[in-house]
Amino acid sequence: MPTEERPTTNPHLLAWVDEMARLCKPDRIQWCDGSAEERKRLIEQAVAQKVLLPLDQKKWPGCHYHHSNPNDVARVEHLTFICTPTKAEAGPTNNWMDPVEAYRKLGALYEGSMQGRTMYVVPYVMGPTESPFAKVGVEITDSIYVALNMGVMTRMGKPALARLGDTSRDFNKGMHSVRDCNPDRRFICHFPQDNTIWSIGSGYGGNALLGKKCLALRIASYLARNEGWLAEHMLILEAESPEGEVSYVAAAFPSACGKTNFAMLIPPKSFDGWTIRTVGDDIAWLQVGDGGRLWAVNPEAGYFGVVPGTNFKTNPNAMRTIERDTIFTNVARTSDGDVWWEGKDNEPYPEMIDWKGQAWTKGSKDKAAHPNSRFTAPMSNNPALSRFADHPKGVPISAIIFGGRRSTTIPLVLQSFNWTHGVFLGATMGSETTAAAQGLKEGVRRDPMAMLPFMGYDAGSYLQHWLDMQVDIPNPPKLFLVNWFRKGANGKFLWPGYGENMRVLKWVIDRAHGKIGAKETLVGWVPRATDINLGGLDVPSADIDAAMKIDYAEWETELASEEEWFQKLGPTLPRPLSLQRELLLERVRAAVRPPA
């Protein structure tokens, strides 16, 4: 097999690449160096293979389009496995496969899977390259689309090999083959004890860009527990006040619930002088650092964001981020190289090509773009990028926000009484399901810290780790719960969301710095009318009241229904969390039905 010159002498890496090449039998092996020339060459090859279609380069400089296989449009949680020696280590919320069985099963599928193809070897760093937080991974893939996306989402190539050095074994081994893209032969397997990922049968982001969900969340959460830090499904934002005071906030919302929008928020007029900048839009790695505070880095170098609904009103910074050097996957396109999606500023064109590659006519009842269509764009395109986004030390976090998509019960914002109560609010977070994963039942599912599909080990132990972290953080961030998605009796959202979320964020920041008041309720602290700036907000005050309302009868139902979730977590559920539930439930019960 022709092999180009190998850019490393690291014997562990070379031996593993050789072993995988013997298994998959590619025609060629190409090591990615991450250079601009290489990217240009790869794009030309991808265009020649019709994996990428160039867009109109005047309108969309450097941008390309990709149609995925229509059967491969989202994460596949039912085909995602944690492969630990015992099932108990994976816990009740993960699919488990015995590691010996998983290596055998996927090994047989990899056998000869790259015949006639190129094997790309993609070394990459998650985290700022020089950062003590950073981790090296190497992804082997037969997908040029994956190699190109990894070039945007990670620090790819030379810097990774330099960081790994000539002798270290400390790198994540990520094996990926799209093979025949058959859902019956699709598996995403994680071997936390081996720092290894084997993925087959899908080219979709979360299944195939192994640095993202697989390494930066599932494997990293396992490493973080052992090493005393946190790997979380959180955006990180920087808020600068008119006085120049800078605060950093991390927020965990489930997939497709607005993390990117929140991280790129533009404050409303009445918040003149405030600026929000982005450190990260999806993943945070958090470690205790200077001043006994929790410091965070974004391990990624790009954004893999949901496109539909993005426009110059909802997220102008995202629109400017995707203006150039972006890969669009599964939006709609026109024959002359423009793109369109539901929720874009302009009307759909009369005739387009939909995400499946079929002719689409305006007025059609089918969506032109897939609801989980995505952009892949470098973070350096973001006009609101924080100057600390690439800082090796990270940024110090003042507040952590948890939030799901809930049409009832959960108020606009709630501050926890203390760390344990905050962990409880995160642990019981619920969210209505979205298009980011295939095959989920509609309705509310519990999604602890928005990590349900991303915990690399047992959920109860994960929550225990959160509780344990308290004593390691002398100056911990304050913990909050938010809900932008509560609905009125008419089924309409009560809160306008997007830029207006600044009003909530300001209260959160002021609370974190002990600067503003709040009202104590039985379930947490909430803003009083005078604590939150609602100036210039064009929303009926009845809707705002309804969005913020704490209804103890609803909370009684909520807290009672959490028992089922806690039972599911089983024997490792931390006792402080079950006691917390009982305490809150007793209190709201007494409020709903005071003793005679």
Contact flag: residue 255 with Mn ion (CB under 5 A):
yes
313-328 core/surface letters (b: 16 or more CB in 10 A; e: else): ebbbbbbbbbbebbbb
Q: Tell me which residue has its CB nearest to ligand OXD.
A: 255
Nearest residue (CB) to ligand OXD, 307 versus 399 = 307
Quote the least distance from Cβ 254 to Mn ion, whole Å.
Answer: 8
Nearest residue (CB) to ligand OXD, 405 versus 506 = 405
Q: Under 8 Å CB-to-CB from 215, ≥6 apart: which residues? A: 126, 135, 137, 172, 174, 197
Q: Under 8 Å CB-to-CB from 240, ≥6 apart: which residues? A: 246, 274, 275, 276, 277
**DSSP-assigned letter for residue 356:** T
Exactly one of 131, 177, 199, 255 binds ligand OXD (CB under 6 A); that residue is 255
- Contact between residue 512 and residue 478 where contact means Cβ atoms under 8 Å apart: yes
Distances (CA, A) of 531 to 240, 274, 328, 540: 19, 17, 42, 18
With CB under 5 A as the contact rule, which of the stretches 279-287, 348-356, 395-403, 549-557 interacts with Mn ion?
Answer: 279-287
Nearest residue (CB) to ligand OXD, 141 versus 255 = 255
Contact flag: residue 436 with ligand OXD (CB under 6 A):
yes
Nearest residue (CB) to ligand OXD, 282 versus 556 = 282
Scanning residues 443 to 502, which ones bind ligand OXD (CB under 6 A)? none
- The residue count for binding ligand OXD (CB under 6 A) is 7
Q: How many CB atoms lie within 10 A of CB 567?
A: 11
- Contact between residue 144 and residue 174 where contact means Cβ atoms under 8 Å apart: no
Quote the least distance from Cβ 158 to Mn ion, whole Å.
Answer: 28
Alpha helices of 439-482 — where are they, by DSSP H? 459-472
Contact flag: residue 282 with Mn ion (CB under 5 A):
yes
Nearest residue (CB) to Mn ion, 202 versus 255 = 255
Quote the least distance from Cβ 114 to ligand OXD, whole Å.
Answer: 26
- Show the 3-state SS of 534-582: CCCCCCCHHHHHHHHCCCHHHHHHHHHHHHHHHHHHHHHCCHHHHHHHH
Contact flag: residue 75 with ligand OXD (CB under 6 A):
yes
With CB under 5 A as the contact rule, which of the stretches 277-285, 290-298, 488-496, 577-585 interacts with Mn ion?
Answer: 277-285
Q: Return the structure tokens found at 150.
A: 């990894």
Phi, psi of 220 (to 5 degrees): -65, -35
Find the helix or strand (DSSP H, E) in which 108 lies. Answer: helix 99-110
Scanning residues 520 to 549, which ones bind ligand OXD (CB under 6 A)? none
Rounded Cα distance between 178 and 182, Å, is 9
Rounded Cα distance between 82 and 353, Å, is 38
Exactly one of 201, 206, 371, 477 binds ligand OXD (CB under 6 A); that residue is 206
- Residues 287-306, one symbol each (x = binds ligand OXD by CB under 6 A, - = not), give -----------------x--
Phi, psi of 38 (to 5 degrees): -60, -45
205 binds, among Mn ion, ligand OXD, none (CB under 5 to 8 A by kind): ligand OXD
- Contact between residue 511 and residue 399 where contact means Cβ atoms under 8 Å apart: yes
Contact flag: residue 569 with ligand OXD (CB under 6 A):
no
Contact flag: residue 403 with ligand OXD (CB under 6 A):
no
Quote the least distance from Cβ 253 to ligand OXD, whole Å.
Answer: 9
Quote the least distance from Cβ 282 to Mn ion, whole Å.
Answer: 4
Alpha helices of 322-458 — where are they, by DSSP H? 419-427
396 binds, among ligand OXD, Mn ion, none (CB under 5 to 8 A by kind): none
394 binds, among Mn ion, ligand OXD, none (CB under 5 to 8 A by kind): none
**Active centre residues (catalytic):** 257
Question: What one-letter code names the amino acid at 288?
Answer: V
Nearest residue (CB) to Mn ion, 32 versus 236 = 236
224 binds, among Mn ion, ligand OXD, none (CB under 5 to 8 A by kind): none
Exactly one of 72, 139, 142, 282 binds ligand OXD (CB under 6 A); that residue is 282
Nearest residue (CB) to ligand OXD, 131 versus 207 = 207
Nearest residue (CB) to Mn ion, 304 versus 507 = 304
- The residue count for binding Mn ion (CB under 5 A) is 2
- Contact between residue 279 and residue 238 where contact means Cβ atoms under 8 Å apart: yes
Give the residues across from 176 on adjacent strands: 141, 199
Quote the least distance from Cβ 152 to ligand OXD, whole Å.
Answer: 14
Residues in the site for Mn ion, rule: CB under 5 A? 255, 282
Interface with ligand OXD (CB under 6 A)? 75, 205-206, 255, 282, 304, 436
